[in-house]
Chains A and B, each alone.
Chain A
Amino acid sequence: MNARDEILGRLRRNARRDGAQEPAARLAAHPRGTVPARSALDHDGRVALFMAEAGRVDATVARLNGTAAIPAAVARYLEDAGLAPALRTAPHPLLAGLDWAGAGLDARPGASDGHDVAGLNVAIAGVAETGTLVLASGPETPTTLNFLPDADLVVLREADIVGAYEDVWDRLRAAGEDAGFMPRNINWVTGPSRTADIEQTLLLGAHGPRSLHILLVRDDG
Chain B
Amino acid sequence: MESTTRAFNDNVRRAIGDAGLRRSLDKLGHGFPVKRRLAAERLPEFETLRDEARDIKNHVLANLDTYLAAFEAKVTETGGQVHWARDAAEARDIILAVCRDASARTVTKSKSMIGEELAINDHLEAHGIQPIETDLGEYIIQLRHEPPAHILAPAIHLSKEQVADTFRASHDGLPRDRDLEAPETLLKEARAILREKFLAADVGLTGANMLVAETGSIVLVTNEGNADLTQTLPRVQVVMASLEKVVPTLEDATTLLRVLARSATGQEQSVYTTFTTGPKRAEDPDGPDAFHVVLLDNGRSGMVGGDFQDMLRCIRCGACLNHCPVYATIGGHAYGWVYSGPMGKVLIPNLIGMETAKDLPNASSLCGRCEEVCPMRIPLPRMLRDWRRRQFAAGQTGIIARWALKSWAFWARRPGLYHFFADIKMRSLAAAAGRRGRFRSMVMAGGWTGSRDLPAPQGRTFQAQWDARGGKR
Inter-chain contact B187/A206, CB cutoff 8 Å? yes
A4 to B90, CA, bound (A): 12
- Known interface pairs A36-B45, A166-B251, A201-B183; A185-B70 also in contact (CB < 8 Å): no
B114 touches A (CB below 8 Å):
no
Inter-chain contact A8/B228, CB cutoff 8 Å? no
Inter-chain contact A187/B63, CB cutoff 8 Å? no
B287 touches A (CB below 8 Å):
yes
Inter-chain contact B277/A183, CB cutoff 8 Å? yes
- Interface positions, chain A 169-192, Cβ under 8 Å from B, are 169, 179-192
A123 to B270, CA, bound (A): 18
Partner of A197, one of B64, B140, B248: B140
A195 touches B (CB below 8 Å):
yes
B353 touches A (CB below 8 Å):
no
Q: Which A residues are closer than 8 A to B by beta carbons?
A: 2-4, 6-8, 10-12, 14-18, 20-21, 23-24, 26-27, 30-34, 36-38, 53, 56-57, 110-111, 114, 130, 132, 137-139, 142-144, 146-148, 165-166, 169, 179-201, 203, 205-209
- Known interface pairs A3-B86, A184-B276; A206-B223 also in contact (CB < 8 Å): yes
**Which of B160, B252, B257 has most A Cβ within 10 Å?**
B252
Residues of A within 8 A of B90 (CB): 3
Inter-chain contact A187/B155, CB cutoff 8 Å? no
Q: How far is the CB of B440 from chain A (nearest CB, A)?
A: 39
Inter-chain contact B52/A34, CB cutoff 8 Å? yes
- Known interface pairs A146-B228, A169-B251, A193-B223; A185-B155 also in contact (CB < 8 Å): no
Inter-chain contact B78/A16, CB cutoff 8 Å? no
- The count of A-to-B residue pairs whose CB atoms sit within 8 angstroms is 269
B206 touches A (CB below 8 Å):
no
A192 to B271, CA, bound (A): 7
A206 to B224, CA, bound (A): 5
Residues of A within 8 A of B194 (CB): 207
Inter-chain contact B275/A199, CB cutoff 8 Å? no
- Known interface pairs A4-B84, A36-B43; A142-B183 also in contact (CB < 8 Å): no
Q: How far is the CB of B292 from chain A (nearest CB, A)?
A: 14
B263 touches A (CB below 8 Å):
no
Chain A residue, CB-CB nearest to B186: A198
How many B residues touch A, CB cutoff 8 Å? 102
B121 touches A (CB below 8 Å):
no
Partner-contacting stretch, out of B212-220, B323-331, B406-414: B212-220
Inter-chain contact A130/B268, CB cutoff 8 Å? yes
Chain A residue, CB-CB nearest to B279: A184
Partner-contacting stretch, out of B298-306, B444-452, B464-472: B298-306
Chain B residue, CB-CB nearest to A19: B62
Residues of B within 8 A of A8 (CB): 65, 68-69
- Known interface pairs A7-B86, A198-B136, A207-B225; A187-B274 also in contact (CB < 8 Å): yes
Residues of A within 8 A of B177 (CB): none
Residues of B within 8 A of A12 (CB): 65
Partner of A185, one of B59, B199, B287: B287
Partner of B137, one of A20, A179, A190, A197: A197
A-B contact pairs, 7 of them (CB 8 A): A57-B271, A146-B228, A147-B225, A182-B217, A199-B159, A200-B156, A207-B224
Render B404-424 as a binary contact track against A, CB cut-off 8 A, 1 for contact. 000000000000000000000
Partner of B277, one of A10, A130, A148, A184: A184
Partner of B287, one of A15, A184, A199, A206: A184
A187 to B222, CA, bound (A): 11
Q: How far is the CB of A204 from chain B (nearest CB, A)?
A: 9
Q: How far is the CB of B192 from chain A (nearest CB, A)?
A: 11
Residues of B within 8 A of A194 (CB): 223-224, 271
Chain A residue, CB-CB nearest to B216: A182
B284 touches A (CB below 8 Å):
yes
Chain B residue, CB-CB nearest to A169: B250
Residues of A within 8 A of B44 (CB): 36-37
Q: 8 tightest CB-CB pairs across the interface, nearest first?
A: A208-B225, A206-B224, A197-B137, A14-B305, A33-B255, A30-B249, A11-B65, A188-B273
Inter-chain contact A186/B274, CB cutoff 8 Å? yes
A194 to B272, CA, bound (A): 10
